[in-house]
Structure 1
């Protein structure tokens, strides 16, 4: 259940950002989004799984960095801080948005839970 909450919160945060706004505003939001994404063991069960994300972002890292999540987070924060063009900021934003939307909780599970909650609350359906 915790995975669903954190994904929903991240999805809400991403959806509240308009890419037409000031790139600096997007940059500040990217800090919190990527910290939560990178530290999520539900999205990335192994540190090696983050390599694919790095490839999508055109952000190559050496193999020793993937041994520590905190080191990965630090490198991502430094990269986000040093992004100088708005195209790269939007690439980071869109990649995070796609990652979160791809891992959205299944609607079927929620509807099944809602059915059982309805039965418990109101009796037979």
Structure 2
């Protein structure tokens, strides 16, 4: 394992991808528990010390988009509260990217912008994604 101080965490959307990324980059795979209460609320516990470390959170926001997005937000917030130095959200599939502009009127929200703002508000310093939807 590399001694770079960087760590990779992942949610429930695609744990295999998280493991492959950590192995390929020779980075530590962070330990966390991502669980649900009986009413569907997400709870995250970061089990490793991330104080002062740069961390990457791998979480596609594919279907079920809302569940995976809120899980990503809660993970980012948990890492921020655990004093991670810099948090990069790695989002291979960015849900809501199809809604990146108004199709008709000013009364239609730009939901991709809202999702990006929520990720920033949760505490992500950077976002890495690929193949965003574009016409």
TM bin (shorter chain): under 0.3
- Rg larger for: 1
Give the number of the structure whose residues are more often helix, by fraction: 1
Using structure 1 for the length normalisation, give the TM-score: 0.27
Using structure 2 for the length normalisation, give the TM-score: 0.25
